[in-house]
Chain A
């Protein structure tokens, strides 16, 4: 936490080393989070956009909580916009599942997901977005439920309930998938 404050302070002064450190420190976590909230091809752009906006706003930025939590929130916001744009854009058929998207690999791809992450992202894509957000922000973004509740503008109890409910569904989905594949 202290290191993050120092890094942000140095970044505000335009220090490139601070930017390198922040980038190296949180890049993978943010990419993983973005994959879980969208898909891997969109995830790359989401994380890049988040860092781009972050350095653009660095001079005015004041760190009040955890830097990772802040960046995770930015990723979640950006992912929401991307998902919404995709839904609204009628030209793109929306019944393409995340699993299908994960199968499409580009030669210049930044991210290679582990098998587990592909499996998790595929199952998470089937959850309602609000439950998916709570689960990923807590387990992958390291955010506290109180912070997630603030982010989603909901009471703490609702956030906890979404988390529990989402995990139950996820368990059913993952167990069902394993059972079918094993047959």
Chain B
């Protein structure tokens, strides 16, 4: 056991070694930069370290030698392992080229229950979509409109693209993201008579089968995947014979029947209630109630348990697969939405472990003991907890033994600037600009906010003020950002927006912000 004193000493005395030739190359580069500044030329020294090092002949030769060595090693390994020439990267690359996707899900009797067709645009996003959920519904999105068919009522309802989108990414996109952490379980095996590679990725509860010739998945869990061009008319919205058409695209459209109104309202109700709750809390209207709820939660016994059975090969990455493994954080209040999870693992044997977090089955969190709010999709969000077991001390356990019990508990973390940012975006998406403004203002008062957080907060305050028609106040916020003279920037991938703080703030001082729509798949209509 190390004492605190030992650990402090270890941190103080831990050493690094630097390569003298690289040191010289870096210093030389800095001196060149200084000389250029002395000449009052506004040219800054290069900041790309790799380029700097390639200026050093010694480093260059070392690099070339290393590359040659790696190439020679790779060739010899290739010869030895020619039966396992497949690499997960090939699948990732192949998936990026996919333009059409056909997914079929069958029940135990082999009947097709879900059938999806997806066309992926050149930008990598879903362009057109068709979902056939027999016998309940059919939904088609043709890029401009979305239609939902109700076979029981013989009705088809048409929505504009801004009203309803049937975005679907599904396991294939997850696979693409997560493949780097996956494993090849078995190369060159068979699946329903086909030669395949059996692989596994975090976030998937079952294995995936990849076709050796195309490197594309042909089956993930219960779904069969193929990539052929769909039949003509797949994405066309047509009225079947005997169906009544209800258009919801225009406000002046015909009155909707009660059942449709109820369904549409219900779809938004949960999100609205949640956002109302947050709006009350962040504006301080019911802070007492929230605090009380939070403290009572902190004292609760862990209310979530999961167990891991040793039914996998030791050393394999094991994903918890029970339905209980999914922590649903929505409808649990502000503190939980914003909360971190303190995770404790109680193992009955000696295993090394670490946890990872997933949002809607996409692992986006890091190992550690916290879930940060920006891993959650607004409003609320779903977190899946994955457990990664490592091969220590499990070899003597009989197969099927329970090796770990995992109690999980959410605890409050209500002052995270990213929570307010995420919440602000949720309000913005719902066009609740005044509430969004309050959320962005709260970032500034957060103790944990750093300078970049404040810059983002001010810029989005400006955006909200622009949208509320308070242009003078908006300009004042943009000016504050410009005065900060930051050199960094930020990307809001959900809106396809990327900017550097200072030039962007100056631009917005001249041109008001115009609303941008969310382009990712986190919309509340996602299906």
Chain B residue contacts of A158, Cβ below 8 A: 447
Taking a contact as CB atoms under 8 Å apart, the answer to whether A135 and B392 are in contact is no
CB-CB nearest in chain B for A22? B30
Shortest beta-carbon distance from B234 to chain A in Å: 30
Interface residues on A, range: 35 or more
Taking a contact as CB atoms under 8 Å apart, the answer to whether B22 and A108 are in contact is yes
Nearest 7 interchain pairs by C-beta: A107-B66, A117-B14, A14-B38, A95-B356, A116-B14, A94-B366, A139-B11
Taking a contact as CB atoms under 8 Å apart, the answer to whether B26 and A48 are in contact is yes
Contact of A94 among B365, B388, B392 (CB under 8 A): B365
Q: Which of B42-50, B83-91, B190-198 lies at the interface with chain A?
A: B42-50
Taking a contact as CB atoms under 8 Å apart, the answer to whether B67 and A175 are in contact is no
Taking a contact as CB atoms under 8 Å apart, the answer to whether B364 and A175 are in contact is no
Shortest beta-carbon distance from B283 to chain A in Å: 24
Contact of A80 among B363, B392, B450 (CB under 8 A): B450
**Given the interface contacts A167-B4, A171-B7, does A107 sit within 8 Å of B45 by beta carbon?**
no
Interface residues of B in 2-18 (CB under 8 A from A): 2-4, 7-8, 10-18
Interface residues of A in 99-140 (CB under 8 A from B): 107-114, 116-117, 119-120, 125-126, 128, 130, 135-136, 139-140
Interface residues of B in 363-406 (CB under 8 A from A): 363-370, 372, 374, 388, 392-393
Contact of B11 among A45, A90, A136 (CB under 8 A): A136
Please encode chain A, from 145 to 183, with 1 for each CB lying within 8 Å of some chain B CB and 0 for all others: 000000001100010000000011011001100101001
Taking a contact as CB atoms under 8 Å apart, the answer to whether A96 and B181 are in contact is yes
**Given the interface contacts A107-B66, A135-B11, does A55 sit within 8 Å of B37 by beta carbon?**
yes
Shortest beta-carbon distance from A75 to chain B in Å: 13
Chain B residue contacts of A183, Cβ below 8 A: 350, 392-393
Bound Cα distance A49, B12 (Å): 24
Chain A residue contacts of B487, Cβ below 8 A: 53
Interface residues of B in 47-103 (CB under 8 A from A): 47, 49-50, 52-54, 59, 62-63, 65-67, 70
Taking a contact as CB atoms under 8 Å apart, the answer to whether A32 and B15 are in contact is yes
Taking a contact as CB atoms under 8 Å apart, the answer to whether A20 and B27 are in contact is yes
Chain B residue contacts of A114, Cβ below 8 A: 14-17
A88 at the interface (CB under 8 A from B): yes
* Interface residue ranges, A against B (CB under 8 Å): 11, 14, 16, 19-20, 23, 27-28, 31-32, 35-36, 44-45, 48-49, 51-53, 55-56, 58-59, 77, 80-81, 84, 87-91, 93-97, 107-114, 116-117, 119-120, 125-126, 128, 130, 135-136, 139-140, 153-154, 158, 167-168, 170-171, 174-175, 178, 180, 183
Bound Cα distance A25, B3 (Å): 31
CB-CB nearest in chain A for B59? A108
Taking a contact as CB atoms under 8 Å apart, the answer to whether B452 and A140 are in contact is no
Chain B residue contacts of A97, Cβ below 8 A: 354, 366-367
Bound Cα distance A125, B367 (Å): 9
Taking a contact as CB atoms under 8 Å apart, the answer to whether B11 and A120 are in contact is yes
A-B contact pairs, 21 of them (CB 8 A): A14-B35, A14-B38, A31-B18, A45-B47, A52-B33, A52-B45, A52-B46, A52-B47, A77-B450, A93-B178, A96-B180, A107-B65, A107-B70, A108-B62, A114-B16, A136-B11, A168-B4, A171-B3, A171-B7, A175-B1, A175-B2
Interface residues of B in 280-327 (CB under 8 A from A): none
Contact of B352 among A19, A49, A90, A180 (CB under 8 A): A180
B438 at the interface (CB under 8 A from A): no
* Interface residue ranges, B against A (CB under 8 Å): 1-4, 7-8, 10-19, 22-23, 26-27, 30-31, 33-35, 37-38, 44-47, 49-50, 52-54, 59, 62-63, 65-67, 70, 177-178, 180-181, 202, 350, 352, 354, 356-357, 363-370, 372, 374, 388, 392-393, 447-452, 487-488, 490-491, 493
Contact of B366 among A95, A135, A170 (CB under 8 A): A95
Shortest beta-carbon distance from A83 to chain B in Å: 10
Interface of A is mostly: helix
Shortest beta-carbon distance from B455 to chain A in Å: 11
Bound Cα distance A32, B13 (Å): 10
Taking a contact as CB atoms under 8 Å apart, the answer to whether B34 and A111 are in contact is no
**Given the interface contacts A113-B16, A114-B15, does A48 sit within 8 Å of B27 by beta carbon?**
no
Chain B residue contacts of A170, Cβ below 8 A: 7
Shortest beta-carbon distance from B113 to chain A in Å: 31
Taking a contact as CB atoms under 8 Å apart, the answer to whether B17 and A112 are in contact is yes
Bound Cα distance A35, B451 (Å): 22
CB-CB nearest in chain B for A40? B16
Bound Cα distance A130, B1 (Å): 25
Taking a contact as CB atoms under 8 Å apart, the answer to whether A95 and B181 are in contact is yes
Taking a contact as CB atoms under 8 Å apart, the answer to whether A19 and B23 are in contact is no
Shortest beta-carbon distance from A9 to chain B in Å: 15
CB-CB nearest in chain A for B62? A107
Chain A residue contacts of B45, Cβ below 8 A: 52, 55-56
Taking a contact as CB atoms under 8 Å apart, the answer to whether A27 and B366 are in contact is no
Taking a contact as CB atoms under 8 Å apart, the answer to whether B12 and A139 are in contact is yes
